[in-house]
Amino acid sequence: MNRQIPNIITCCNLISGCIATGAAFYGQYQWAVLMILIGATFDFFDGLTARFLGVSSPIGKELDSLADVVTFGVAPSSILFYLFHEVHCPEMLMPCSKFLPYTAFLMAAFSAVRLAKFNLDTRQSTQFIGLPTPANALFWGSLVLGQHAFLTSLRFNAVFLFLFMLLFCFLLVAEIPMLALKFKTFSWRDNKVKYIFLLGALPCFLFGYSSFAAIILWYILLSLLSNKLADKEGVAASSL
């Protein structure tokens, strides 16, 4: 029975993703985002529980990826699918306006590729390569929930939404190292970038429903900045 407990928790993640997807198709953004958050919680605890119980299985790893594809791939794509029906569509795109919402599911495909790469990439034991799917899902859920009035106003349109979505699809599979909040020690020297991220994330909660979107943007910017500084330090060290 102990061996099945982590799988049961993973299935709870999967069910949460299914409910989030169903809610998104009805435009119930609050319910969809809440279920994505609950799914992310289950996703955190299934691995933690498996390590605590000292159990692991190949089926658990596969099940975890399948659940994540639904909760962090299909569910945010469904949110975007409904949003595409609400955003202003420029006149030049009116002939294809009925088909444009279906492009939202590109994000589900890129999320699946991202998860497959994560399962095979040994480099991601200490850091992420590309934007993690939970971060991407929480970004879109929080953004749509907090900035719905702006996104559906005449100041925004379907072209911007499509291009912004493509940017995040790229970030999911890009060969860009991203910060992983894994602490081996708690010293400032070994974890200064992580502590800077946590400190910088605190003011983001002032953005209300958009808090997670702001935190994820801060996460991406800090990861890019730390990579650039690391490259400069590497060049300087090699020139000595």
Please name which of 129, 121, 8, 119 lies closest in space to residue 69, comparing C-alpha atoms. Answer: 119
What's 128's DSSP letter?
A: E
Residue 57's Cβ-side half-sphere holds a number of Cα atoms within 13 Å equal to 14
DSSP letters, 195-228, are HHHHHHHGGGGGGGGGHHHHHHHHHHHHHHHHHH
Q: CB within 8 A of 29, min separation 6: which ones?
A: 23, 79, 141, 144, 145, 148
Residue 6 pLDDT:
87
In this structure, what token pair is assigned to residue 103?
A: 């492009």
Q: What are phi and psi of 87, to 5 degrees?
A: -70, 155
Per-block mean pLDDT, blocks of 10 residues, the chain (240 long): 82 96 96 96 86 77 91 98 95 88 97 89 77 96 96 95 97 91 76 90 92 96 88 62
Task: Work out the burial of residue 58: count CB atoms within 10 Å of its CB; fewer than 13 is exposed, 13-18 middle, 19 or more buried.
Answer: exposed
CATH topology of domain 2-238: Four Helix Bundle (Hemerythrin (Met), subunit A) (1.20.120)
Please name which of 68, 39, 71, 52 lies closest in space to residue 5, comparing C-alpha atoms. Answer: 52
Residue 16 pLDDT:
97
Tell me the torsion sign for CA atoms 155, 158, 161, 163: negative
CB atoms within 10 A of CB 83: 23
pTM of the predicted model as reported, rounded to 2 decimal places: 0.91
Residue the block writes with tokens 């692991």: 56
Task: Work out the burial of residue 86: count CB atoms within 10 Å of its CB; fewer than 13 is exposed, 13-18 middle, 19 or more buried.
Answer: middle
Residue 237 pLDDT:
58
Residue 93 pLDDT:
85
CA angle 81, 87, 91 (to 5 degrees): 115
Q: Which of 152-178 are b and which e, b meaning 16 or more Cβ less than 10 Å from the residue's Cβ?
A: beeebbbeebbeebeebbebbbeeebb
In this structure, what token pair is assigned to residue 104?
A: 């939202």
